[in-house]
């Protein structure tokens, strides 16, 4: 995901998104957080003119399953990008590190192997309070940022394909 806060974006600087087809895979684990990420994502898409019929939402049990869920969406639907939304909060064991690493690597490997945008919208925070702040709270909504990243990446892919020499 982008390193700047894209929660506040200017539609004038975004590609035309009205015909974009996007999948969203959402982790059910920490759903009080991930549902807010999804809400931010969907609100940004609506604001940018993407019709509901062009957005496919699928749920998976946890963040570990996001990459496979994204692959399933690409394999079964004609979509241009998939956003992976999840939330992993540090606990008392190394489980956090394993899940975060596997999730990030899985998303990256999928994107590189299929050559389409797979957006990492997974919060990896130390506390629940940090996750709440980043899912519509004081730090913005990383779901919104993931939506804007997807729009920009699809726009880039379309532009490069159009200008292919």
**DSSP state string for 31-70:** HHHHHHHHHHHHHHHHHTT--GGGEEEEEESSGGGHHHHH
DSSP of 105-129 = HHHHHHHHHHTS-EEEEEEEESSHH
With respect to residue 138, please indicate whether it lies within any of the assigned structural domains: yes
Residues comprising the chain, all counted: 165
Provide the CATH number for the domain around residue 89: 3.40.50.960
Question: Is residue 4 in a domain?
Answer: no
* pLDDT tens, residue by residue, 66-120: 999 999 999 999 999 999 999 999 978 878 888 888 999 999 999 999 999 999 9
Please indicate, yes or no, if residue 8 is contained in any of the structural domains.
Answer: no
pLDDT of 165 reads 66
Query: Looking at the 3D structure of the chain, how many domains does it have?
Result: 1
For residues 91 and 96, what is the distance between their CA atoms, to the nearest angstrom? 7
Does 32 qualify as catalytic in the annotation?
A: no
Question: Measuring CA to CA, how many Å separate 131 from each of 33, 56, 103, 127, 163?
Answer: 7, 24, 17, 7, 40
99: containing domain: 19-162
Among 8, 59, 77, 95, the active-site one is 95
Which sign, positive or negative, has the C-alpha torsion 29, 30, 36, 41? negative
| Residue 64 banded pLDDT, cuts 50, 70, 90 | very high
Place of tokens 């200017």: 10
């Amino acid at each position: 995901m982008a390193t700047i806060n894209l929660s506040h974006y200017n539609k004038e600087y975004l590609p035309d998104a009205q015909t974009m087809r996007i999948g969203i895979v959402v982790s059910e684990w920490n759903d009080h957080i991930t549902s807010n990420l999804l809400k931010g994502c969907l609100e940004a898409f609506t604001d940018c003119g993407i019709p509901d019929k062009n957005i496919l939402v699928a749920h998976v049990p946890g963040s570990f399953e996001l990459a496979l869920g994204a692959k399933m969406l690409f394999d079964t639907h004609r979509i241009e990008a998939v956003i992976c939304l999840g939330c992993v909060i540090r606990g008392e064991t190394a489980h956090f590190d394993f899940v975060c690493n596997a999730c990030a690597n899985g998303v990256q490997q999928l994107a590189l192997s299929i050559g389409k945008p797979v957006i990492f919208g997974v919060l990896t925070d130390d506390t629940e309070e940090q996750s709440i702040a980043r899912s519509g709270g004081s730090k913005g909504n990383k779901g919104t940022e993931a939506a804007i990243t997807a729009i920009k990446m699809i726009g880039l892919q379309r532009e490069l394909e159009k200008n292919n020499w």
